[in-house]
Structure formats: C-alpha cells, structure tokens
Amino acid sequence: MALAAPVAVAVQQQSTLPRETQAGAGLKRTRLYLKDGSFQVVLSYRVRGANVFYLSAERGAQEEIIPLTLVDLPATEAWEQRRDAIASGKSAVEIDPELAREEADRAARNPEVSKDLRLPDEDAVLALDTYRGEPQLVPLQQTDGELNRQTTHNILRQTINPMASAHQLVEIKGETAPAQLHVPDPDLFVRLNDDAEEPVHAGALRVDTGGNRGERRVEAPSPKSEYVVVRVDVRRGVRVVTTFSIGLLGSARRQSDVIETTRTALPGGHWLKVTPKEPLSFGEYALIEVLDDRSVNTGVWDFGVRPTAGPNRDAILPEERRPPTLAPRRSQP
C-alpha cells in the first residue's frame, strides 16, 4: 500500500529521538516500512526529530514528511541489511535468523546420510544401500508374519522366556524379502516418534503365544530400544525368525545367526542410526527391536542381502537441494 499524499505536520521534537539518519546515498532505491506492514519505495530518507523526511520514488523525488510514530524503522533497516547482504553474495540463512532456525530444524528432520541423499519426513525404517555405484535409501516394511505390511513403526510386545529353548518367533510368508540390499554393511535408520513419551492409543491385541496367553500391545517407538539383525531360516515358502537369548546381548558370547548392532542418535533426536557390528553375508535377515531384558517387538523389518539383485522399486535416490532463498516481503492491502 502506498503512502498517502505528503503529510505536512508540525510535531513537537522529542528529546528521546535526537537521531538523524541518511539512507540511500546516490539515490539508491530502498523501502520505507510503516507499522501497518505496508511500505513506500523511496530514493532516500532521513530521521529528524519526530518526523521522517523522504524522497518518493513514485512522485518524482518530491520530498515528503511522515510522523516517525508511523514508521517501522527496524523493519526498514532489516530490509536494507538483507538487500546489501544478498548483493554481497551471502546465503539466505546467513541473512535471516528465522530462516536459519527453520533450516536447522529441517536438517535435523531430514539429515543427509550421503551426498544429496536425505532421510524423509515420514515415520519409516530405511537401509542405506548402494546400487550400481549410486547410494540410495531402501524402505524396509514391517511385518508380524501376516499378509499386511506397513512402513510405519508399531510395537507388538512379546515376552521371551530366557529358560526356554529356541523356538519360532515370527513366520514370514515368501522365501525372499521385498527389499534386497546390494552391500554387506548397510546402515539402518529408524525414525523416532517425536512424542515417544505419549501413549499411542491403538488398542491391544491378544494372541496365542506358544500355548501361553500373552499380550501384544501397540506402543510408540522408543529411543531406548536396542536392535539386532537376525539371519532367518529360509524354508519352503516361508522365512522363520527364531528366538534368541536377550541376556547374552552385549556379552563376549556370540549367538549363532544374531548380529548385534551399535546405535547412534542423529542430531535433533528424530532418527536413530543402527549399524551391524559385522558384515552381513548373502542371505535373508530381519531387524528386531529389543524392548527390554525380557521382551522383543514381533513386528520385524525383513530384508535380504543379495549383490546380484535388481533395483529396489521404492528406493529414495539422491536429489540436489537448492539453498533457500529470501522471498520479497509483500505489503499488506
């Protein structure tokens, strides 16, 4: 909104404003912002006492006067600083603190795990793979052995008797997982729930667990969980995940077909990186969440390691991201 016609007012000079400012040397166009959000394009302005004198760029450099109480000097000076910084080649995040904060939050939610390859916004578990020399993120689907699969993170808690012998934990239909990785040392990334302390009201599901009545309740993912990678037993038409001894995790004693991992929380607390402690050989695997010293999540993430496999259909590929830019401020109508 443009300013009204020149305002000629006699305002008593305020002793608190002895300042005099000259802007736009050489008649460089600038913006004089008002407190209502609008601005006037001017060639120069100066503050003298309780008034602002300016040369209007829209009215032939005619000098006009407006009361200082109507002018938003901080917004005017901020715009000039942004303009000069852009002209000097500075990036937008160096100029705008709010934009810098937004960029930092975005970087925490979508961290870069390889050049131009970033984790997505949605809840997911992904594996960092390399196919034909190109890094990519492969989504891992969660399954509890039923036909339905999902990419979200649910917890179906089941207690494992430490005194019992190894027995079937989950049976997954099919001899190969939908996701096939091409490298033996993938990093796995687990999206953490931002409200992990809040209960997830998803009800409870009672199932028969090997003859005992047990409860598998749906919960939110926790950053306190541990994760192991287990080689599954491939049989005719199915893959079987068997139990293991939770108490031996972290000890010097190695369990057959159980690969322990290290966990690293990424900056911002939105993602957890899970790295197997040893290379994975050719075969079929499941990522299992260990909830505590007695319980595991029977919603597992299955995948295979097969260097000769074809491409993964839903893989996330590198994408060059342009730096953020500053949009011009719009005046209010």
In a domain, 16, yes or no: no
Same domain, residue pair 153 and 290: yes
In a domain, 321, yes or no: no
DSSP string, 253-292: PPPTTEEEEEEEEPTTSSEEEEEESSPPPSEEEEEEEE-S
For the chain, how many structural domains are there in total?
A: 2
pLDDT-based confidence at residue 178 (cuts at 50, 70, 90): very high
The proportion of the chain whose per-residue pLDDT surpasses 70, expressed as a percent, equals 71
Q: Per-residue pLDDT tens for 128-154? A: 999 999 999 999 999 987 756 776 778
In a domain, 259, yes or no: yes
Phi, psi of 194 (to 5 degrees): -65, -25
Same domain, residue pair 296 and 160: yes
Q: Which residue has the tokens 């808690």?
A: 157
Average pLDDT over residues 83-95: 63
Q: Which residue has the tokens 């899970």?
A: 274
41 vs 100 pLDDT, higher one: 41
In a domain, 294, yes or no: yes
* pLDDT at residue 195, rounded to an integer: 53
Same domain, residue pair 153 and 294: yes
Task: Calculate the dihedral angle through the C-alpha atoms of 71, 74, 75, 80, rounding to the nearest 10 degrees.
Answer: 110
Nearest 5°: the CA angle 133, 276, 122 is 70
106 vs 159 pLDDT, higher one: 159
Closest CA to 78 of 90, 65, 95: 95
Q: Which domain holds residue 189?
A: 113-305
Same domain, residue pair 137 and 276: yes
Q: Which residue has the tokens 């599901």?
A: 205
In a domain, 209, yes or no: yes
In a domain, 289, yes or no: yes
CATH number for the domain spanning 86: value is 2.30.30
CA distance 64 to 42: 10
